[in-house]
Amino acid sequence: MRKLEEELAAELVVVGVHSGKFIAERVTENIRQAAWRLGVGHPLVNDRQFRVWRSYAVRAWPTIVLLDPEGYVAAQQAGEVPAAALAAAVRRIAEAAAERGTLDPEPRAFPADADRADRPLRYPGKVAVDVGDGRLYIADTGHDRIVVARLAADGRAADVEAVLGGGAGFADGPAAEARFRGPQGLATADGWLYVADTGNHAVRAVRIGAWTVETLAGTGQQARRYPPVGGPARETALNSPWDVLPLDGRLYVAMAGAHQLWRVDLERETAEPWVGSGAEELLDGPGRTAALAQPSGLATDGRRLFFADSEASAIRSASLPEGDVATIVGTGLFDFGDRDGAGDAVRLQHPLGVCAARDRLYVADTYNGALKVVDPVLRTSATLLANELWEPGGLATDGERLYVADTNHHRIVVVDLATTEAGPLELRGL
């Protein structure tokens, strides 16, 4: 849409109609924050009662409806449409309207309801902590950069050591020259920091200490092929990688846009789907026959890979190395809420982050604004922290504390696992 708005300013007016699946997505302020976070520049309608949805007989997200200047539906398409195909359709409708004399070619401008606040962090999405070197890594997603900080002894403050990138783009090189676009998941191993560079549909690698950035996988373009296929890592297009986890010479990737888990072989430099058919569903079973729904967070106990399957509001696991998928909590794409308990009675709402410690899973239950503790054996869930977070996107642990990316509050929150005491991280020097 952003590309079309630029190319067809005289022919096209875009209005976003937000018919939210999740309860939290129907709150106007949450939609406003999402629009600021994503840089949306056109008007948005909160269709929280699905009135516009029903009036256009919509059945799927997303659906594109093209109206001619007289208000008639000229075309309608469910699903994602490439910009070039959509542009061609808009031009045909505009040309026909111009011939009828109904096209007003004056570009329409709408005052931007923009977030202009100057903050040290802006919508941080994910966080990682390296106990060995005492560093905290923050995906400063709204600023398109990575912040590296040294943790104080008490773990409640940190001093900025380096800032990688600044300003959206796709470029390798030294910290000041490198560019990211909406980075999310972070993980460290063997002297490297791995980055899910979500907006660039790429996985990046940063040499720790030297702070130089290189592209590990992805072309910078979104993969469109279905079902997705792998190949040489830097020649294979990816689709919205959201988290990364290095283990045993491989880098596991939560490929949210493809509804799959991928593996990057770090020695052979190849990337390929590992788990998930590519269909969006909650279906357990052997690796490529299982179905996932926007996996967005990764963790491991060494035997299993745990993942937050966001659109199914589920926490699931894949056995290592086989990839057999099982669901711990969550029951389906339209089963969500905020309910503690055991087994199929548990309800989460679009969790984005998970980490493993003390034989438990800690979950960023994003749309409930909460932290949950999940027992992967007993399949129980309990609330650890609520009412203090606003759409937390990720979390990490040093074994004693949780570091939580409190995304819409533009901060990192530190939670003491022994006392559950929580407070904002003091980030010095940013």
CB 306 within 8 A of CB 299: yes
> Do 237 and 344 belong together in one domain?
yes
Q: Are strands 44-46 and 16-18 parallel, antiparallel or unpaired?
A: parallel
Asked if pLDDT for residue 130 goes beyond 80, the answer is yes
Residues 219 and 162 in one domain: yes
**Same domain, residue pair 15 and 140:** no
Q: Please check whether residues 186 and 90 belong to one and the same domain.
A: no
Same-domain status, 286 and 159 = yes
Separation CA 334–CA 22 (nearest Å) = 8
Quickly count: other Cβ atoms within 10 Å of residue 36's Cβ.
19
Does residue 108 fall inside a structural domain? Answer: no
Last residue of a domain, one of 50, 81, 100: 100
Count of domains in the chain? 2
Q: Do 63 and 162 share a domain, yes or no?
A: no
Residue 278, pLDDT score: 96
pLDDT value of residue 118: 80
Angle at 328 between CA 323 and CA 333, to 5 degrees: 90
Domain limits for position 87 = 2-100
265/374 same-domain check: yes
Q: What share of the chain in percent tops pLDDT 70?
A: 99
Average pLDDT over residues 367-394: 97
- CATH number of the domain where residue 247 is located: 2.120.10.30
119 falls within a domain: no
CA separation for the pair 234, 238 (Å, rounded): 10
Residue with tokens 């909650």: 282
Considering the domain boundaries, does residue 115 fall inside one? no
Q: 117 lies in a domain? A: no
Residue with tokens 């570091």: 403
Which tokens is 211 given?
């702070």
Both 42 and 142 in a single domain?
Answer: no
Q: Is 422 a residue whose pLDDT tops 90?
A: yes
Q: What does the pLDDT look like over 316-363, one tens digit per residue? A: 999 999 999 999 999 999 999 999 999 999 999 999 999 999 899 999
φ, ψ (nearest 5 deg) of residue 170: -140, 90
Distances (CA, A) of 304 to 298, 316, 319: 10, 10, 5
149 or 6, higher pLDDT: 149
Contact 346, 379 (CB under 8 A): yes
For residue 122, tell me if it sits in a domain: no
Shared domain for 75 and 211, answered yes or no, is no
List, for residues 211-249, the tens digit of each pLDDT value.
999 999 999 999 988 888 999 999 999 999 999 999 999
The per-residue pLDDT for 226 is: 84
pLDDT given at position 221: 95
Cβ atoms 199, 212 nearer than 8 A: no
11-15, 78-82, 242-246, 353-357: range with lowest mean pLDDT:
78-82
- Name which residue leads in pLDDT, 49 or 106: 49
**Predicted pLDDT of residue 82:** 87
Whether the Cβ atoms of residue 298 and residue 243 lie closer than 8 Å to each other? yes
Same domain, 351 and 241: yes
Between these two residues, 176 and 109, which has the higher pLDDT value?
176
Q: How confident is the model at residue 117 (pLDDT cuts 50, 70, 90)?
A: confident
How much is the pLDDT for 55? 96
Q: What is the pTM of this model?
A: 0.94
Confidence of residue 26 (pLDDT cuts 50, 70, 90): very high
Same domain, 89 and 133: no
pLDDT tens for 150-161 read: 999 999 999 999
Tens digit of each residue's pLDDT (9 = 90 or more) over 178-198: 999 999 999 999 999 999 999
Q: How confident is the model at residue 170 (pLDDT cuts 50, 70, 90)?
A: very high
Mean pLDDT lowest among 6-15, 19-28, 253-262:
6-15
The reply to whether 136 and 93 lie within a common domain is no
Of 59, 83, 100, which residue sits at a domain end? 100
The CATH number covering residue 70 comes to 3.40.30.10
Alpha-carbon span 62 to 337, nearest angstrom: 23
Mean pLDDT calculated for residue range 381-388: 96
Q: Is residue 197 part of a domain?
A: yes
Work out the average pLDDT over 379-391.
97
Average pLDDT, the chain: 96
300 lies in some domain: yes
Which of 53, 83, 100 delimits the end of a domain? Answer: 100
The answer to whether residue 16 sits within a structural domain is yes
Those residues whose C-beta lies under 8 Å from the C-beta of residue 90, and which sit 6 or more positions away, are: 4, 8, 11, 12, 66
